[in-house]
Amino acid sequence: MKAKEFNIKWGMVIDLDKCTGCGACMTACQVENNIAPMVDSSNKLRTLSWMLVFEMSNKKPCPDAEIAYLPRPCMQCGNPACVPVCPVVATDKNEEGGIVSQIYPRCIGCRYCMAACPYHARYFNWEDPIFPKGMEKALSPSTSTRPRGVVEKCNFCHTRLQNAKDKVRMEGGNPEALPDGAYMPACSEVCPTGAITFGDLKNPEHKVHELAKSENAFRLLEKLGLAPQVYYMSKREWVRKLGDNYAATGKPGAEKKHS
Amino acid sequence: MEEKKQCKGCGGALPFVVGFVAAVIAGWVLFPGVLYSKQNQPIRFSHKVHQEQGMECASCHSFREDGSYAGLPNNEKCMECHADVVGSDPDELKYVEQYAKTGKEVPWLIYQSQPDNVLFSHKAHESFECKSCHLEVEKTDTPPVYYENRLSGYSKQTMKMWQCERCHAENGVSNACHVCHK
């Protein structure tokens, strides 16, 4: 299947050398997207975490031991594996900007998309969300809550994109050419070390445009050819190699392919 | 033997016709009446009177600075004129006593209220006239009756997805899911 091309490609460049693994992005994400706290969140097969921070290690003994943290949102793949498997077109990549949509009322909960996604970015609602008393007053109007039996995932805080467009319209600008920083997902906004840079990968005026081309930039499991719109960067070779599961091309990091 | 072939008392096509008519009446006339509950606005607000004072839609229904839409005016806005009773209308008195003086917001019924997973940008649709989507209330003295679907809880008068999609298609605007859903 030929990947759709868009004039705008919203993307992230996450600097893994800046990430301290604090988890602020995960918290901001849960608040922004109305993810209910679970009664027992020790069962990680059932937790919902659109943004999840992984710990990586170079597996070396003490003097050389190093760790790195890897925040994983939805990769918004250029050629998504989840979209063609959906039997009811509840998920699609058809909007300018390239964000993969997920429409909860249409989802039938078959979970084919979860099986197809190699990044484990999709989550299934095993239970109805229950917000502790009083917390329902603090729900975000940005995201609708999901019932039991549907799949959900990160959508780059899509409502923030809509709000940013409205603001630009109010100021008389062009909503299809947002300035750098006008639209930012919650994780990127909250990151205390500024590890998550967000913007239009195709717009030279946006920082991510250059960052994604840096020699330290790579994408997760690039060999699969899903062309994620999320890039990572690290000066450490073992981190870059681990990003492609040590299986890229034998060269440090992954081979870079830019559209 | 000839007589036995005819079913006596069946009336030929009559039972079918009677059943058909009964089903049509039940489905088209009775069921919608049962499905929708009729509600009136808490205050008999007259758009006509306000319009005759020379007020525009935007005098009360306005945008915020960030481009979001404030929708219905709150007490603060209404009380710019209605902090005290103006005129002799009983609903005017009701508003001032029950809402303006107590600080409680009026629980207006919103004809165009959309489900939670719909995101509608008024700013993006600013070039259209209000009445191309909303009920034409500017000439009504009494607000129209609000019909609520007893099963879904949604307003009967709200815009349906096919209407949104058709207008988008006719105007060459994207019908991608995330354009309207959140």
Contacts of B31 (CB under 8 A, 6+ apart): none
* A18 domain-assigned: yes
Give the DSSP H or E segment for B36: strand B36-39
**B159 domain-assigned:** yes
Q: Contact A168/B174, CB-based, under 8 Å?
A: no
Confirm whether B124 is domain-assigned: yes
For B127, the closest chain A residue by CA position comes to: A169
Query: Is position A214 within any domain?
Result: yes
What CA–CA distance (Å, rounded) separates A144 from A106?
13
Cβ–Cβ contacts within 10 Å for residue A135, how many?
12
pLDDT for the residue B2:
53
Q: Phi/psi of residue A169, each to 5°?
A: -60, -40
* pLDDT score recorded for residue A246: 57
pLDDT tier for residue A256 given thresholds of 50, 70 and 90: very low
Q: What is the pLDDT of residue A136?
A: 87
Mean pLDDT of chain A: 90
Asked if residue B27 belongs to a domain, the reply is yes
Closest-CA residue of B relative to A182 is: B66
Q: Which domain range does residue A99 map to?
A: 10-243
Q: Nearest CA of chain B to the CA of A141: how many Å?
A: 8
Instruction: Return the percentage of chain A with pLDDT > 90, whole number.
Output: 77
* B146 strand-pairing partners: B39
User: Interior CA angle at A123 toward A105 and A118, to 5°?
Assistant: 120
pLDDT digits (tens, 9 = 90+) for A199-234: 999 999 999 999 999 999 999 988 888 999 999 999
A13-17, A139-143, B127-131: which has the highest mean pLDDT?
A: A13-17
Which of A7, A144, A162, A167 is the best mutation test for B, with the most CBs of B within 10 A?
A162
Report the pLDDT averaged over residues A142-168. Answer: 94
Report the distance separating Cα B10 and Cα B19, nearest Å.
Answer: 13
Give chain B's domain count: 1
Structural domain of residue B150, as residue ranges? 11-40+109-180
Percentages (nearest 5) of helix, strand, coil residues in chain B: 40, 5, 50
B13-51 pLDDT tens trace:
888 999 999 999 999 989 988 999 999 999 999 999 998
How far apart (Å, rounded) are the C-alpha atoms in residues B132 and A97?
Answer: 29
Give the pair of three-digit tokens for residue A250. 């034998």
Instruction: Give the lowest-confidence range in A69-73, A132-136, B14-18, B135-139.
Output: B135-139
In this complex, the residue of A104, A165, A171 whose CB is nearest that of residue B117 is A104
Choice among A29-33, B86-90, B150-154 with the minimum mean pLDDT: B86-90
Q: Buried (b) or exposed (e) across A42-81, using 16+ Cβ within 10 A?
A: eeeeeebbbbbbeebeeeeeeeeeeebbbbbbbbbbbbbb
CATH at residue A197: 3.30.70.20
Q: Which two tokens stand for residue A200?
A: 């239009």
Output the pTM of the full model: 0.86
Q: Counting beta carbons within 10 angstroms of the beta carbon of residue A10, is it exposed (0 to 12), middle (13 to 18) or buried (19 or more)? A: buried
Which residues of B are less than 8 Å from A92 in CB distance?
Answer: 176-177
pLDDT band with cut points at 50, 70 and 90 for residue A259:
very low
Q: In terms of pLDDT, which residue wins out, A258 or B79?
A: B79
User: CA–CA separation, B82 vs B50, rounded Å?
Assistant: 12
Distance from CA of B12 to the nearest CA of A (A): 46
Which residue of A94, A152, A166 to mutate against B (max B Cβ within 10 Å)? A166
Whole-complex ipTM: 0.81
The answer to the question of residue B127 being in a domain is: yes
CB A154 within 8 A of CB A82: no
For residue A193, give Cα distances in angstroms to A180, A229, B114: 18, 21, 39
Task: Report the b/e string of B89-121 with b at 16+ CB within 10 A.
Answer: eeebebbbeebbeeeeebeebebebbeebebeb
- In angstroms, rounded to a whole number, what is the distance separating the alpha carbons of residues A54 and B97? 58
To which residue do tokens 């960052």 refer? A211
- The answer to whether position B77 is within a domain reads no
Contact A227, A199 (CB under 8 A): no
**Is B120 in a helix, a strand, or coil?**
coil
C-alpha distances (whole Å) from A190 to each of A24, A105, A197, B65 are 7, 30, 11, 23
With respect to residue A4, please indicate whether it lies within any of the assigned structural domains.
no
- Asked if the C-beta of B152 comes within 8 angstroms of chain A's C-beta atoms, the answer is no
Mean pLDDT of A119-145: 92
Backbone angles phi, psi at B45, to 5 degrees: -85, 130
User: Which site among A107, A170, A171, A176 would you substitute to test the B interface, given the most B Cβ atoms closer than 10 Å to its Cβ?
Assistant: A170
Helix then strand count (H, E) for chain A reads: 7, 10
Domain-embedded: residue B21? yes
Q: Does residue A254 form part of some domain?
A: no
How many distinct structural domains can be found in chain A? 1
